[in-house]
Amino acid sequence: MSDDFSDLPESERPRESGREARSRHRAVPSGRFARFSTFGKLVGGVAGGMAAEGARRLTSGERISTRDLILTPGNAKRLTERLSHLRGAAMKMGQMISLDAGEFLPEELAKIIATLRDQAHFMPAKQLDGVLKSEWGNDWRRQFKWFNPRPIAAASIGQVHKALTRDGQLLAIKVQYPGVAKSIDSDVDNVMTLLRVAGFAPPELEVDKLLAAAKKQLHEEADYEREGQQMQLYRDKLADEPGFVVPRLHEDLTRGSILAMSFEEGVDIEELGKEPAERRDEVFGHLLRLVARELFEFGVMQTDPNFANFQYRRDTGEIVLLDFGACRPVDPDVANGYRKMLKAGLVGNRDEVRQATLDAGFMQPVVVEKHGERVDKMIDIVVNEMRRDAPFDFGDRAFIPELREEGFEIAQDKDTWAFPPIETLFVQRKVSGTALLGARLKAQVNIRRIVEDVLASTEPMKTKAA
């Protein structure tokens, strides 16, 4: 297979030069030794960068800490470059760091690491052809009028190609990078080692459960047949819901490492920010309602809030939902815990919010015992913002620094360090990631009305104990 575009319609042919295209080809290390070697080069490069930065600071008489030595722009560039080369679980975890910790990193470093969300490296044609032959057979081309060898998107676990079948179906075909599924466990362990050294995972925290959950989720994301089933589930649940488009699964062409679906037109979701305020607020309101329905009605949630998983249709105002690999069942206890907290928050009952938070395991009793005033202050800030019967301005994040300050002071106390229930972390990541998108779009939506409506139209979930 080569980058031969002669069979493609003019609209599908690349507009860049051959040199530009070749610079974006990069084979994915698929063998265990090759991936381990890449991690070794990363560690060596980071160590060298630490030594140089340490020498500079000693010479200038500056204070030295391990975390400061690691989180230099040079080391951030090394991290992004190597993780984008590895792709797979290694790059996925880097993306999660850039999204979840972006507000807590220095601006320059956050921008460098954030490039992991938009990496455009893709497999060389020979490596791509090998994957397609292994899944579809040597004569796989016979199924298509044309198959564009240049991907329209390249992410952490796979890249997406546009193709037209013999019977006229325009498809988006996601092809998994070779070796990423087998390397998940070792990649997660290696990245976590780097995070521990950088101070992101202090030794006082027991992270075994978190690592096990991360590995399980990534193995599920690497199973494209499972993702196809989740995509079909969302298509069924949203069949009568205006405002959303879910691709249609092409079952005959889908395999464990190939996901075939209808190609759906759309632009980056951030383009919605250029629309008039009324349209912007209406569309983002649909997305907020979807998150609430996932939590309290569907019993399943797509837990990856990466902006690339949403696209926008200017002509209809619809949101195209993409990437269902991170779908997971919502624990009934978690859903009911959020229900109790929100109901108490809507009536402004601080004591009930605090107790619901403790009952659900979202916060440990020792936190309230030692830092009760700070906890109550944080509850008051959130409750006062969400219970107002008026549009909430996601672009106005003036209250965030105050929340961060209180949370930071509590976090300094190692006696309070503990992970909340793992299932809570996935839900909270989706909620906070959606809020971050709202901030990027500068949307204004009446959160109270949406929450009240969804809570009123749903019942508490039945738990295992019930």
Burial-class residue 447 by CB neighbours within 10 Å (0-12, 13-18, 19+). buried
Q: Beta 244-245 vs 170-176: how paired, if at all? A: unpaired
- The pair of structure tokens assigned to 409 is 């002071």
The answer to whether residues 151 and 161 touch, using CB atoms and an 8 Å cutoff, is yes
The answer to whether residues 92 and 156 touch, using CB atoms and an 8 Å cutoff, is yes
Catalytic residue among 4, 129, 167, 304: 304
HSE at residue 127, side-chain half, CA atoms within 13 A, is 17
- The pair of structure tokens assigned to 68 is 């400061």
Residues whose CB falls within 8 Å of the CB of residue 272, separated by 6 or more in sequence, listed in order: 279, 280, 283, 284, 312, 441
Burial-class residue 104 by CB neighbours within 10 Å (0-12, 13-18, 19+). exposed
The answer to whether residues 387 and 345 touch, using CB atoms and an 8 Å cutoff, is yes
The answer to whether residues 392 and 385 touch, using CB atoms and an 8 Å cutoff, is yes
Is residue 3 among the annotated active site residues?
A: no
What is the C-alpha separation between 176 and 147, in angstroms, rounded? 16
What is the C-alpha separation between 159 and 172, in angstroms, rounded? 10
Dmax over Cα atoms in the chain, in whole Å? 71
Exposure pattern of 110-129 as b/e (b: 16+ CB <10 Å)? Answer: bebbbbbbebebbbbeebbb
Instruction: Quickly list DSSP for 5-51.
Output: -TTS-GGGS--S-HHHHHHHB-----SHHHHHHHHHHHHHHHHHHHH
Supply angle C-alpha 22, 23, 29, rounded to 5: 90
H or E, element range at 286:
helix 277-293
C-alpha closest to that of 302 among 215, 238, 395:
238
What is the C-alpha separation between 342 and 316, in angstroms, rounded? 32
C-alpha closest to that of 172 among 194, 148, 189:
148
Q: Hey, what amino acid is at 325? A: G
What is the C-alpha separation between 39 and 187, in angstroms, rounded? 9
User: What are the catalytic residues?
Assistant: 304
